[in-house]
Amino acid sequence: MREKTKKRTIKNMNTQNNTMNDDKCPSARRIIDQLKQNQIDEINLYDNHKKTLLSICEYLIDSGINSDLFEQCLTQQVFMESDIPQSLHNKRSLAFVIQFLECVEPPCCEVENLPKVIANVIQIYCSDSNAEILKTVPSLIGIVGMISVFHMFARSQIQPSELNRELNILLPAASEQPYVASSRKYCLAATEALLKAPPKDETTDSFKYLSTIPDVQYILSRYPLDRTIDHIKQLLYQYKESSIQSTLRDVFYGYLDGRVVSKPFSWPTTDFISIKEIQTAMNLDSSTFQSIVLGEDPKVKEFLTQQQPETFETLQNQQLPASTQPLAQQQRQLMQVQPKIKQEKEERNIKKKALNSKSQDATKPKMEDDEHSKLKKKKRRFSEEETQNLIEGVQQFGIGHWKSILNAYKFDGRSCVDLKDKWRNIENSRNRINKQKVQPQVSQPHSNASMLPPFNSDNF
DNA sequence: CTAGGGATATAT
DNA sequence: ATATATCCCTAG
């Protein structure tokens, strides 16, 4: 074992010297080395290491942390295209697009990069049904690009012939993307107008020149550059907000909120019992672990600086033993949960006894002191939080795993049967709402399809 | 433990 | 009064 670790560290140093300047993720790097050198025999472990790497990549991308870890993994063939889930592709594309837009300085952006940017956006919303809001983005970026091209033309930075070429690249005639056709129409008119009235050689003020061309002016008034770019950014961020957060990030945020200790989370294939097990699974020492996963995240950083003395230590204390004895920890966690369960059970037993004695004595008469015999629990409505927890829990564990959900999430004195009943209610109410909405919708398509005129654009 | 039926308090 | 949400009971 020790020999292995020695070898590993030596090789680590080598690779670090080779790849250089990337000490951001030493542990990820170590996993890469292990994978590349086939030091891992078990297939499961091998698989988990890959997935761990993917999760780290996902986390870094989600957190906006610049790191070429993902690219390195690809180029070094640590994982293949087939290992990468579509969602991660999309996150990467999104990060690329956002980064590009953040760097744009109107009026001129790097036009040569725009096709790639546009392609990325199209890829995202074609593969993710939640990305509908991005549908207008390709046409908007195309327009931004064309405005940039106009300026370059005005400054004689590009040849007249390139004007049409850029138009065909940024807003292709054959594009089936929404809004592209109409955007192209405007830009085509503007291009022709520009070619008819080319700038004098000495024109330096592109704004002045462009404002003399009505067709260009129309575009500029309809799509003011700054506001358009802001709008694009806003759409991108909105999508980013709505898209799923990375597994690791979720776990850590939950951990900071103090509810993760017993909350299992769904690793791509394996369930880890707690945050400590992630560390074990990642085979990291706690300081590396923290620097990678805790240190880089703004929320986590803030947390650490605010509460440094206590929590930081407890974090370490909790994490250190993990590598040696995950089982013992699970037991400890269970022990923490146990008292509550015991209490509840005891209460129940008392009730049962009371019930029994009551029914036995019931042959004798008199329900007298029924304050106690009203053993039926007082009705307490599910709080918003409890309901939310239940929904999350079902997402995580699936329907029917009420006990697991009960243990993993915070509920106020509920039993698994309560959760089951609550879920039944939730589903019932969903069905009711659907019935109300769906029925009227069903009848429409048939009649409409046949009744609609084939074209309603005859005015054109 | 979970699923499902049923009773009952509470909301509309 | 009816519908709904919660609680209870029991079988498997």
Return the structure tokens found at A200: 């004098």
Judge if the beta carbon of A367 is closer than 7 A to nucleic acid strand B.
no
pLDDT at A311: 37
The rounded distance, in Å, linking the Cα atoms of A115 and A98 is 14
pLDDT at A301: 60
The residues, any chain, with a CB within 8 Å of residue A194's CB and separated by 6 or more, are A150, A153, A163, A213, A216
Confidence band (pLDDT; 50, 70, 90) for A42? low
The tens digit of pLDDT for each residue in A72-88 reads 888 887 777 788 888 88
Judge if the beta carbon of A429 is closer than 7 A to nucleic acid strand C.
yes
Judge if the beta carbon of A417 is closer than 7 A to nucleic acid strand B.
yes
pTM for the structure as a whole: 0.54
* Phi then psi dihedrals of residue A71, to 5 deg: -60, -40
Q: In Å, what is the separation between the CA of A420 and the C1' of C5? A: 13
Confidence band (pLDDT; 50, 70, 90) for A219? very high
Q: Which run of H or E residues covers position A272?
A: strand A271-272
Q: In Å, what is the separation between the CA of A369 and the C1' of B1? A: 34
Domain ranges of chain A: 84-240, 261-305, 382-428
pLDDT at A140: 93
Closest nucleotide to A417, Cα to C1':
B2
The tens digit of pLDDT for each residue in A138-172 reads 999 999 999 999 998 988 888 889 999 999 999 99
C-alpha pair distances (Å), A379 with each of A174, A375, A418, A428, A440: 63, 12, 11, 19, 36
In this structure, what is the dihedral angle of CA atoms A325, A330, A335, A341, given to the nearest 10 degrees? -170
Q: Which is nearest to A149 in space by CA: A129, A131, A171, A132?
A: A171
Per CA to C1' distance, which residue is closest to C6? A379
**Measured CA angle at A339 (ends A333, A340), to 5 deg:** 100
Judge if the beta carbon of A337 is closer than 7 A to nucleic acid strand B.
no
User: Burial, A37: exposed, middle or buried (Cβ in 10 Å; 0-12, 13-18, 19+)?
Assistant: exposed
Return the structure tokens found at A215: 């067709």
Q: For a pLDDT cut of 90, what percent of chain A falls above it?
A: 20
Q: In Å, what is the separation between the CA of A429 and the C1' of C3? A: 11
Q: Which is nearest to A68 in space by CA: A22, A33, A35?
A: A22
Q: In Å, what is the separation between the CA of A81 and the C1' of B6? A: 55
pLDDT at A3: 34
Pick the residue with more confidence: A11 or A117? A117
The rounded distance, in Å, linking the Cα atoms of A283 and A287 is 12
Are A132 and A125 in contact, with CB atoms under 8 Å apart?
yes
The tens digit of pLDDT for each residue in A54-68 reads 877 887 787 776 667
Window from A185-189, A200-204, A297-301, A359-363 with minimum mean pLDDT: A359-363
Return the structure tokens found at A342: 């015991």
Pick the CATH number of A382-428 from 3.30.70.100, 1.10.10.60, 3.90.1150.10, 2.60.120.10: 1.10.10.60
Q: In Å, what is the separation between the CA of A366 and the C1' of C10? A: 27
Return the structure tokens found at A358: 């009551």
User: Burial, A428: exposed, middle or buried (Cβ in 10 Å; 0-12, 13-18, 19+)?
Assistant: exposed
For residue A107, whether the previous peptide bond is cis, meaning omega lies within 30 degrees of 0, is yes
Closest nucleotide to A399, Cα to C1':
B2
- Three-class secondary structure of residue A251 per DSSP: helix
